[in-house]
A and B are shown apart, each in its own frame.
Chain A
Amino acid sequence: MIQFLLNQTLRTEHTLDPNMTVLNYLREHCRKTGTKEGCASGDCGACTVVVGELIGDDIRYRTLNSCLTFVSALHGKQLITVEDLKHNDQLHPVQAAMADCHGSQCGFCTPGFVMSLFALDKNHPAAYDKAATQEALAGNLCRCTGYRPILAAAEQVADQHRSDHFDAAKSSTIEQLRAIAPTETAELTSGDKRCLIPLTVTELAGVYEAHPDARLLAGGTDLALEVTQFHRELPTTIYVGNVRELQTVETYEDRIELGAGAPLTDCYDALATEFPDFGELLHRFASLQIRNQGTLGGNIGNASPIGDSPPLLIALGARIVLRKGDRQRTLPLEDFFLDYKKTEQQPGEFIEKVIVPRLGDWQFRAYKISKRLDDDISAVCAALSIRLDDETQTVTDVRFAFGGMAAIPKRAKTCEQAMVGQPWNEATIDLACVALANDFTPLTDFRANRDYRLTTAQNLLRKAFLELQSSTIETRVTAYV
C-alpha cells in the first residue's frame, strides 16, 4: 500500500501495478489528461509534474518526468499536476504569464513548461535569474516557439512573484504530509509484481540480501526505460528513495562523502564548490527533472560507458563503499567497472556511498562533448586530475579518465605515463596526445565517429593544458551565457 497526496487529496493505493508510471497513473487511472506524453523516455519534459516532499518543517518542490517515475516513488509525498494550478477559476500566475507572453503555440509541451516554471518560482523566489531559468527548462522541449516567449514568461513570473494557493495551504499540506510520513517498510503489490520501499539502510540491506534478484530503484531514470521503451517487466523492485541515510552529502577536511541515493541535484553544491568543473558538468548532466531524481549511485551502478560522473570521479580518485547485508567493502571506483555493463557488484550488494578526496594540491579539469550543449549524452567526456611539482613544473601525478571512448569509463594509462615525470609543456602534451591514441579504440556510432572521438580526446588534453597555463585565453563556448 502506498499513500500520497494528489494535490491536497489523500490517495491510498493498495494494488497499483508497481511498474506503472506516474504518467500512466494520471492519464489512464485518474483520467487527468493535462499531463502529456511526448516521448516516454524523459527527454522532452511534456510529462513534467511537481512532487512536494516534507523536508524538516518545509515542503521541497521538485520537478520530475512522470513518464520515468514509478508510482512507488510517490509514497509519502505530494503530487502536483498542471490541473492543480488554476484556483477559483483564476489562472496561476505562472499560467497567466505563459499565456500573456505567447509562450504556447501548439500547446502540447506547455503543461510541462508550466510545471517547470512553477517549481522554479517556488525554489527561486528572488529576481529573474536567466541561468537558473535555463537550467529549469533545459529538459523541456518546445518545437514551436523558439523559447524566447517562454523566457519572457519566466521573467514576468519572477518580477511579480505572487504567493499562490499552495502557499496559503502550506501549513495544512505539511500536516497532511506528516500524517502520511512512512514509518515502516512499505510494499506495493499487484499480481506477481511487487515493490518494496524500505526506510533505513539496514532494512534495505536485509531486503536486498533476501531478494538478490530484485532490481534496485533509485531515481529510476534509467531503469524505467526498460519498462517504457523496452517493454520488459520488473517483477521485484526495491525503491531506495525513502532511505534518508543514503541521501546525505557531507564535506570533511579531506573528502566529500556522498550517499549513493542522493539525487544529483543534492550533490551539486558540495561538488561544484570543490571542483568547479564538476559543477559545470552537472549543469549539463541530463536535465533538472532527471537530476532531481537520478542519483550518483545510479549513474555509477548502471555502468554506462558514457555515464558522465564516473570519468570525473575516477580522475578524482573516488572510492565507493559497497554493502551486502551488514558487510561493507571499499574499492577505488576505477576497479568497479570490469567490462561493458559488467561491474564488481555482487548479487544482493549495493552501492552505499561515494567518497571523493578533496583537491588539495591537485588541479582538475573536466569536459563534456555532445551535439547539443544541454541534456545530451556525451560523445566524449574527459576528466584530468594533475599535480605539478611547484619547483620544476614537472608532472608528479596524473589521472586522465574518459567516458565514451571504451566499453567502460576508463583511464588513459599510456597517456598518463607519457606525462608523469615530464615537464608540463607543449612537447610533453604532443607526446601524450600520440600516446593517447594507444589507449583507446573508440567506436563509431550515431553520436560521433571514432576519429572525432579520438581527435577531440587529444584536443581536450591540449585544452586542459592551455587552461592550466593561462587564464586569459578563452577556451569554452559554455562560458557564454
Chain B
Amino acid sequence: MSKHFVQTKTQAELAEIFAQDLVTGVGRPLKHESGDKHVTGEAVYIDDRLEFPNQLHVYALLSERAHANITRIDTAPCYDIPGVEIVITAQDVPGDLDIGPVFSGDPLLADGKVEYVGQPVLAVAADSLDTARKAAKAAIVEYEDLEAILDVEEALEKEHFVLDSHQHKRGDAGAALNAAPHRLQGKLHIGGQEHFYLETQISSVMPTEDGGMLVFTSSQNPTEVQKLVASVLGVPMHRVTIDMRRMGGGFGGKETQAAGPACLCAVVARLTGKPTKMRLPRVDDMMMTGKRHPFFARYDVGFDDDGRLQGINLDLAGNCGYSPDLSGSIVDRAMFHSDNAYFLNNAVVTGYRCKTNLASNTAYRGFGGPQGMVVIEEIMDAIARSLGKDPLDVRKANYYGQEERNETHYFQTVEHNILDEITAELEASADYAKRREAIKAFNRNSPVLKKGLALTPVKFGISFTATHLNQAGALVHVYNDGSIHLNHGGTEMGQGLNTKVAQVVAEVFQVDIGRVQITATNTDKVPNTSPTAASSGADLNGKAAQNAAQTIKDRLITFAAGHYRVTPEEVIFKNNHVRIRDQYLAFEELIELAYFNQISLSCAGFYRTPKIYYDRDKAAGRPFYYFAYGAACCEAIVDTLTGEYKMLHTDILHDVGDSLNPAVDIGQIEGGFVQGMGWLTTEELVWNDQGRLMTNGPASYKIPAVADMPLEFNTKLVESRKNPEDTVYHSKAVGEPPFMLGIAAWCAIKDAVASLGDYRIQPRIDAPATPERVLMGVQQILEQRAKVEGTVPELEPVK
C-alpha cells in the first residue's frame, strides 16, 4: 500500500460526527441504487453490452401448430442465406435436451413433436438477428396434426393433467354445507397475464476454456440457468458462470423462462466456439414464454345469516399449458390463498393442474395466490348480494379471529393478524360509509354512469412453499481502503433489492451507502442461490448479507478490543466512525489498522428461514414464516351503455413491518396495485381456435397506461409495526402482496354494475373485466330484473 489513511479532523470534530445518525442506513427512503443510471441511459442491460466482432445472433423458429408430430425438418435452405453460421435442432444438443426446472417436460427444441404454437423447433445462429430470422423462416418443417386441448374445462373434464391433484381438507365440508342456512354455487374464469417486462428475454454467452460458458442472462434464477446450461452442454456446474447485473423487469417471467435462450446460446457457442446472443423480439417472447396461469374455479358455499362461512367446497383448476414447469407449487399457492383473509371453517379445497396445448404457464407475481384470492373475494361479494348486505360487512364477519377461528384449511395458525386494525383505519381514512351513501345517491340520479366502491383485504403468506428454497448466501469484502464490495444471491429486477441489501450492510457497518459497491449477481461469488421470487429477496439475501457483514464487524470488534485493550462493548460503530472507549477513528482508519494486523476482511454469509415446514401428504403444516397484510379501497365509475370504466379513487394501507426503505416499498405497493388492476381489467389474453395467441404485442395486449392510474391515489404504510418475527430489521416482504390489492378495483367495477339490481344480484363478470364483460354483466342484471319484474331473485339457489 503506497498511501496511508491520514485523519485531518480533531477528536472533538470526530465526536460530533459520531453523535449524528447515519442517513443512508435502513429505514431511509433512499433512491434506487441505479436511479441515476436509469435516467441517463447509462444502466447497462444485456443488449447494451459491447459486442464482439464475431458475435452470433440466434433466432428460433417457432411451432405453427398447437399439437403435432414433426414429420420432416429440412434445414438445408437456411444455409443458402449468406451470414448463417449454424442451424441446430434437438439432435444437436450435446447434453440433456430437457430444461424443465423441477419436473421434466420442457425440451429445449422440439423433439419429434410440438405441443403449442410458439414452441421453439429449431434455432439459427447468424451474423445478425435479421439474417438469422430470414434463415429460420427458410427452413422446411412439416407436421402431422394431433388433437389439441385448448380449453381448461375440457382438460378438467378429461382429467388431462400435467401433475397429480392435491387437496386441503379441514372439518366436514359436506355436512356443513347441508346444514348451512344459506347456500350458493358458482363458477368463475380468471384470465392469465402476460408479464410484459419491458426488456424481453435475453442471454449472451462467451465460451471459455475447459468447455465452459460465461453467461450473461436476464434471469431471476442464476443458479438454475447455471445448472441447465451445464446440463444441456453435459458439463459440471463448475464450468458455467452466470453474471446478472439487472433485469428490465421480471415479475416471475424470468424465473424459469430465461433458461431457454441461455441454453440455446450455450449450445450454439459450444458448437461454433463463438460468442452468441439471443434476444427475443416482443412478439416471439409473448408467443414462446408462459404467462400467469388462467384458472377456472367452481364453488359451493354454505353460510349463516351474517354471511359467515360454514362450509366450502372449492375446485381450483389451473391452466398449466403443455408442461409442469412450476405448476405444482403455483396451484398449491392458489389453494393456500383461497382463504385470503377469511376463516373457511369446514373446507375442501382441491387443486387441479390441467394440461393444455399452450405455452407452459409459469411464475407471475403472487404465484397462483392472486387467482385463489379472486375466487374467495367473488364469493364474499356473492354472499353479500344474496343477503342484501354491504360486502365489507360480510368480509369483516369472515376475517380470521385472533384467538379462535384462526386456523387455516392447511392447519397453520394465523398469528399477529392486524387486518381488523388495517380495515378499521382504512375505512375511516377513506370515509367508506359516507362514500357508500354518496355513491348510492349518485347512482339513483345517474341513469348511464354508475359508481362502485369496494374495500378488500390482503393476507399473503411469505416463504417459498418448497421449503428448501428458503435459504440465501452473500459475500462481503471490505477492502483495505474501507470501501465495501457487496454480492448476494438475489437478483435486481427493479424492485430495489440491491438498494435494500446495501442499506443493510451500510447499517451494520454504520457507513454511508456510497461506500458499498453493488455488484452483479454471480454464481462464482455466491453459489446455489434460490430464485429471486416469492417476495423473499430482501428477507433472505438481506439476512445473509447482514450475517456476512456482522461477522466481519465482530472480527473488527474483537480485534479493536484486543488492540486497544478495551472491552468489546466499548467498540462502537456509528456514522462512518468507530469509538473505542473515548477515542474516535474513521471507519477506514480502523479497516487499515485491521488489515495491517492480518484480520480477515471478507466473509460469506448465509441464512435459512426458521420455523417453516409443510407435510404435503397430510396437507398440513406451517408453510409460511409470517403473513403480510394490506387493504385497498377503490372507487370506480362504469358506463352502463358501453362497459367502459375508470378508476376514480384508491386508498391503500399496507403492512411492510419496519420498512427497510419506505420509498422502495411504496413503489412496490403502487406498482403492484396497478399491475393487479391491469390483470383484472384490460389485460386480456385471447387465443384463436388453433391455439395461437392473438394478443401477442402491446398493440393488442393492453397493460395499464398512465391515465389508468386512479385519479386519486393514496398509499400509506402501516406505521410503527415491527414484524413480530425475527426478519431482517423486522421488515416484511413486499414484492407480491400488494399485487392483490388490485382485486379492489375489480370488485368496485362489479359493485357499480350490481347497483343496477339494487345490490341484490351478483353480476357474472369473469376476470379480466374488459368493457365487453362489464357490459355483459350489465345486460345480465337487466335481463334478470326484467324476468322477475320487481321481485328480488336468489343467486343460483341450490336445493
Mark A residues whose CB is within 8 Å of B.
27, 31-41, 43-44, 46, 81-83, 85-86, 91, 94-96, 98-100, 102-111, 114, 133-134, 137-151, 229, 231, 367, 369-377, 379, 445-449, 452, 455-456, 459-460, 462-463, 466, 473-478, 480-481
Contact = CB atoms under 8 A, between A and B. Distances in A.
Contacts of B638: 477
Contact of A466 (B43, B448, B672, B686): B448
A99 B705 contact: no
Given A104-B38, A134-B706, A475-B449, A452 B248 contact: no
Nearest to A447: B700
30 contacts: A43-B698, A44-B198, A44-B698, A82-B40, A91-B39, A99-B35, A104-B494, A105-B495, A106-B246, A106-B494, A107-B494, A108-B248, A111-B41, A138-B705, A138-B707, A140-B706, A141-B198, A142-B706, A143-B249, A143-B675, A145-B674, A148-B709, A148-B713, A374-B705, A374-B708, A455-B775, A456-B642, A473-B447, A476-B449, A481-B707
A144 B706 contact: no
A33 B48 contact: yes
B40 A83 contact: yes
Given A134-B706, A452-B772, 13 more contacts: A34-B40, A43-B698, A44-B698, A104-B34, A106-B246, A107-B494, A108-B249, A111-B41, A147-B674, A374-B705, A459-B641, A473-B448, A477-B449
A193 B477 CA distance: 56
* In the A-B complex, the 3 residue pairs with the closest CB atoms: A34-B41, A106-B494, A108-B248
A107 B38 contact: yes
A446 B40 contact: no
A139 to B, nearest CB: 8
Nearest to B696: A446
A27 to B, nearest CB: 8
B153 to A, nearest CB: 19
Contacts of B50: 31
Interface in B663-695: 663-664, 666-667, 670-675, 682, 684, 686, 694-695
Interface in B15-74: 29, 31-32, 34-45, 47-48, 50
Contacts of B249: 106, 108, 143-144
Contacts of B775: 452, 455-456
B656 interface: no
Contacts of A141: 196, 198, 698, 703, 705
A292 B50 CA distance: 33
Contact of A477 (B637, B666, B673, B697): B637
Given A147-B674, A452-B775, A374 B707 contact: yes
A456 B644 CA distance: 10
A146 B449 contact: no
Contacts of A41: 282, 697-699
Nearest to B279: A37
B342 to A, nearest CB: 27
B682 A371 contact: yes
Contacts of B711: 480-481
B133 interface: yes
B79 to A, nearest CB: 19
A480 B646 contact: yes
Interface of B: 29, 31-32, 34-45, 47-48, 50, 130, 133-134, 195-200, 246-251, 281-283, 446-449, 493-496, 637-639, 641-646, 648, 663-664, 666-667, 670-675, 682, 684, 686, 694-695, 697-700, 702-709, 711, 713, 715, 770-772, 775-776, 779
A463 B642 CA distance: 9
B646 A81 contact: no
Given A46-B198, A145-B667, A477-B639, A446 B694 contact: yes
Given A34-B40, A481-B711, A231 B198 contact: no
Given A34-B42, A107-B43, A377-B699, A480 B648 contact: yes
Contacts of A34: 40-42
Contact of B282 (A39, A369, A448): A39
A46 B703 CA distance: 14
Nearest to B48: A33
B366 to A, nearest CB: 15
A372 B45 contact: no
A99 B494 CA distance: 13
A231 B134 contact: yes
Describe B's contact surface by its main secondary structure: loop
A104 B32 contact: yes
B706 A38 contact: no
B452 to A, nearest CB: 12
A44 B495 CA distance: 20
B671 A144 contact: yes
Nearest to A82: B41
B133 A231 contact: yes
A143 B42 CA distance: 20
A81 B670 CA distance: 29
Contacts of B646: 373, 477-478, 480
Nearest to A37: B47
Contacts of A373: 644, 646, 705, 707-708
B248 A107 contact: yes
Q: B246, B283, B643: which has the most chain A beta carbons within 10 Å?
A: B643
A143 B364 CA distance: 13
A150 B667 CA distance: 11
Contacts of B47: 27, 33, 37
> Considering residues A35, A41, A46, A151, which has the most beta carbons from chain B within 10 angstroms of its beta carbon?
A41
Contacts of B707: 134, 138, 373-374, 481
Nearest to A31: B50
A83 B38 CA distance: 11
Q: Which of A106, A231, A478 has the most CB of B within 10 A?
A: A106
Nearest to A458: B641
B446 A473 contact: yes
Nearest to B50: A31
Contact of A104 (B39, B48, B700): B39
A475 B639 CA distance: 7
Contact of A371 (B32, B36, B770): B770
Contacts of B133: 231
A91 B35 CA distance: 11
A146 B770 contact: no
Contacts of B770: 371
A470 to B, nearest CB: 10
B698 A39 contact: yes
Contact of B702 (A38, A376, A476): A376
A143 B673 contact: no
Contacts of B37: 107
B699 A43 contact: yes
Nearest to B673: A146
Given A36-B248, A134-B707, A141-B705, A462 B641 contact: yes
B199 to A, nearest CB: 5
Nearest to B700: A446
Nearest to A131: B707
Contact of A480 (B36, B199, B637, B642): B637
A107 B34 CA distance: 8
Contact of A372 (B39, B639, B702): B702
Contacts of A94: 39
Contacts of B670: 145-146, 148-149
Contacts of A137: 705-706
Contacts of B715: 148
B39 A98 contact: yes
A27 B47 CA distance: 9
A44 B494 CA distance: 18
Contacts of A460: 641-642
Contacts of A463: 448, 641-642
A143 B703 contact: yes
A106 B713 contact: no
Contacts of B45: 36, 108
Nearest to B286: A39
B302 to A, nearest CB: 35
Contacts of B703: 141, 143
